Amino acid sequence: MDRVDRRRFLKIAGLAGAGAVLAACSSPTTPVPPPSTSSVSSGPPDWAALRSRMSGQLVLAGEDGFAYQGFNPVWDAQKPAAIAKVTSAADVQACVSAVRGRVAIAARSGGHSYAGYSSPSGGLQVDVRGLAEVEMLPGDQVRVGSGAALSAVSSALVASGRCLPTGTCPSVGVAGLTLGGGIGVLSRKYGLTCDHLVSAKVVTADGQLLAVSASEEPDLFWALRGGGGGNFGIVTEFVFSTLPAPDVTVFSLAYPAGAAADALGAWQTWLAQAPPELWSNVVVRGGGQPSARIGGCFVGGVGALASLLNGLPAPESRFIQPQTYAEAVQYFAGGPISRESAVASSRVAREPVDASRAVELLAGQSDETYLIFDGLRGAVADVAPDATAFPHRTALANVQIYLKTPPESADEARTKLAGIRDGLGALTGDTGYVNYIDPQMPRWAEAYYGGNLARLHSVASRYDPDRVFAFAQSVTPGQ
């Protein structure tokens, strides 16, 4: 369960509408690097020819049925020239072959890109939501179309008594979540979403459909597990290993204004010593005196969790409840998901940070400004940092910075975001989570990929040497 989608937690915490991890953000004027034309075509795409080759629907701007609406209203004005509503891998191949080198191309699954990158201005959006089948396979595996939302994945797993450590927001796409790593509320016990990826099918820049696994195209398989959505190709299908669905105990602790630094400081020490069965986060909310909530879930019973919670400062209020896996899916998903306008960024805390300095960054900010510390380590750290493209294996926590703002105030909000991000960066160093991609992030490639960046450049050189899938923060070949 993720993006890290504490939406239900925020709802209970009185932060409903914070849209934790659900919105997209960046400047719509961010330039997109043009592809190299060394071995690809040039000139405008032949849309009529592409339409004739597709089993799905191609809709051009201005035609009936053309609409792009992602989660974040900030990006409503950023529109592609055409939307391909694909229904097969062959449709995706036709799209890539028709436009590569001519216009930008990007896949859209859940529509939650923090930077709006799934809507390439003037380019082709490949809407893969028609590839949404979820099928349980022999051997406790699940085959998932790349357009499936987490609600569909969860429903299939719940019906089979199985689970997968994914996100909890129902409308987030499984593709973007997996390709960036996949942090969630079961990560400390079972690892990241990408750690359970068995195989994938990927349309690459030359229009081929490749079967990718540890034994087939192993370098690309490595890169798909944390290398970020939009890079290297368009995935059409995933196969994941699953686990028996556990019963859990969920909890939420409230701390009043002025107590946030104490709560965050204690939480960091406490989490570092906690068993992997416990996942937890801290939501620090801005204001004259910031407040905090500590919440999460425990793979175990109420008594054992209550004993663990005694290691934290006494809260103002406390909620603890045992739940089945099915109930926990609904708990963290919360109520109906509505669109929300916001800007966001991230840092990754390798070790505990100075809690007073971190909380001070939110002092005097709007009460719709948040720092969300999501616990890592546990099973995440059982995998070597270079075993997959996700580099933050040994980190204590991922930190999301989230500012709710109307679209017309997005530029002002980005200025505030940058101040908080850079202030937090002074405590964490150049770190960040690619699933919370921020187009204004300093040294973004190093922040998102760390020591794995050089190998990712090499993978890009092999699979997309002409930068067919280029966007403002794509992994480039050979640098």
Mean of pLDDT values over 80-101: 97
Measure CA of the first residue to CA of the last residue in the chain; give whole Å: 35
What mean pLDDT value characterizes the chain?
91
Is the pLDDT reported for residue 9 higher than 50? no
pLDDT at 32: 38
pLDDT band at 334 (very low <50, low <70, confident <90, very high): confident
Is the pLDDT reported for residue 16 higher than 60? no
pLDDT band at 431 (very low <50, low <70, confident <90, very high): very high
pLDDT band at 71 (very low <50, low <70, confident <90, very high): confident
What pLDDT, in 10s, does the model give residues 92-133? 999 999 999 999 999 999 989 989 999 999 999 999 999 999
- Given a contact cutoff of 8 angstroms between Cβ atoms, the answer to whether 118 and 109 are in contact is yes
> Which of 329-338, 359-368, 395-404 shows the lowest mean pLDDT across its residues?
329-338
pLDDT at 39: 53
- Taking alpha carbons only, the member of 156, 197, 195, 173 closest to residue 108 is 173
pLDDT band at 287 (very low <50, low <70, confident <90, very high): very high
- Burial of residue 215 (CB within 10 Å: 0-12, 13-18, 19+) is exposed
Question: What values do phi and psi take at 99, rounded to 5?
Answer: -120, -10
Rounded to whole angstroms, the Cα distance separating 267 from 138 reads 41
- Given a contact cutoff of 8 angstroms between Cβ atoms, the answer to whether 56 and 130 are in contact is yes
pLDDT at 160: 96
pLDDT at 398: 98
Is the pLDDT reported for residue 243 higher than 50? yes
Is the pLDDT reported for residue 34 higher than 50? no
Tokens 């004993």 belong to: 307
